Amino acid sequence: MEKHRISTPASTAQTEEAQPLAVRALPLVLLVVGLAAAYGLGWHRYVSLNWLADQREMLADFVTFHPLKAAGLFFIIYVAVVALSVPAASVLTIFAGFLFGWLAGGVLVVLAATVGSCILFAGARTVFGDVLRRRAGPFLVRFSEGFTRNAFSYLLVLRLAPVFPFFVVNIAPAFFAVSLRTFAAATLIGIIPGTFAYSWLGRGFEQVISEAAEEERTLLLSDFLTPELTFAFMALAVIAALPLVVQFIREKRQAAGHGGRD
């Protein structure tokens, strides 16, 4: 009788590395081609803040008469924007709060952003997954081990901190041995505070447009942001980082204790 082979993480990694580079690079190539096509055809203009502001009445009517279809289309567009790294996620999140309400819009964005992030992460991991193992020095190897061991906590801090671009946090973990499940869970939880804060800002969309019109200037994303909101995001990131700091101090003390006994 034939014995069934059990697949292990090591054997899976070897199988992925054995695949030709062209095969492993295909998902990321498709994303890059999609991004180039989106900009080449001018689709990025349809997710700009000023275009959405100009079309807000028509879009709001469409949501009123076709709520499910509108939600489905918005979900697909948001997933594509995140997966292709088009810099429009914050704008669309605010507009989701305006169109669907802060609660429904926030839920829709959290789900779409998580799906789009996972698509980009999976594509990048297929290409870059073994780069660090092959070329990294001792320091990066140790950092990779620490990141992998506390992947969920690290990713949660990165998601909460507003200083890191969204697409960077989607791609960076691909260099480390982070599972898709861990990445998805940390993304889903980590983006909740920021998503609902931005969707809440969408409630004041009309007022911000009126103020910009009175001043005869172009509408900017910064018109919706406040120093208090940025401070709140930083505070959340610090709170999320506390367990990592405590664990780091504990490991250092344990290492010092073992060294003293030796």
> What pLDDT score does 211 carry?
76
**Entry pTM:** 0.74
* Side-chain half-sphere exposure of 164, counting CA atoms within 13 A: 20
Which residues make Cβ contacts (< 8 Å) with residue 163, sequence separation at least 6?
234
The overall longest dimension of the chain from CA atoms, in Å, is 81
Separation between Cα atoms, residue 184 and residue 204, nearest integer Å: 31
14 located within any domain: no
> What pLDDT score does 193 carry?
85
82 located within any domain: yes
DSSP annotation of 179 reads -
Domain extent, residue 51, equals 20-261
* Inter-residue contact 99 to 105 (CB < 8 Å): yes
Among 188, 190, 192, CA closest to 114: 188
> What pLDDT score does 75 carry?
97
In percent, how much of the chain has pLDDT > 90?
A: 24
pLDDT per residue as tens digits for the range 1-33: 444 443 444 444 444 455 565 566 666 677 777
pLDDT per residue as tens digits for the range 113-131: 999 999 989 888 877 665 5
108 located within any domain: yes
The four Cα atoms 251, 254, 255, 260 give a dihedral, to 10 degrees, of 160
51 located within any domain: yes
Our count of domains for the chain comes to 1
47 located within any domain: yes
> What pLDDT score does 22 carry?
57
Q: Is it the case that residue 99 has pLDDT exceeding 90?
A: yes
What is the distance between the terminal CA atoms of the chain, rounded to a whole angstrom? 52
Highest mean pLDDT among 10-14, 159-163, 254-258: 159-163
> What pLDDT score does 50 carry?
82
9 located within any domain: no
171 located within any domain: yes
10 located within any domain: no
Per 3-state DSSP, the chain is made up of helix, strand and coil in percentages (nearest 5) of: 80, 0, 20
CA-angle at 121, arms to 117 and 125, nearest 5°: 175
Mean pLDDT of 76-95: 90
Mean pLDDT value across the chain: 76
Q: Is it the case that residue 137 has pLDDT exceeding 80?
A: no
> What pLDDT score does 6 carry?
39
Q: Which residue has the higher pLDDT, 142 or 107?
A: 107
pLDDT per residue as tens digits for the range 175-218: 777 889 999 999 999 899 889 988 888 888 887 887 777 776 77
Q: Which structure tokens are listed for 183?
A: 């990445």
Q: Is it the case that residue 224 has pLDDT exceeding 60?
A: yes
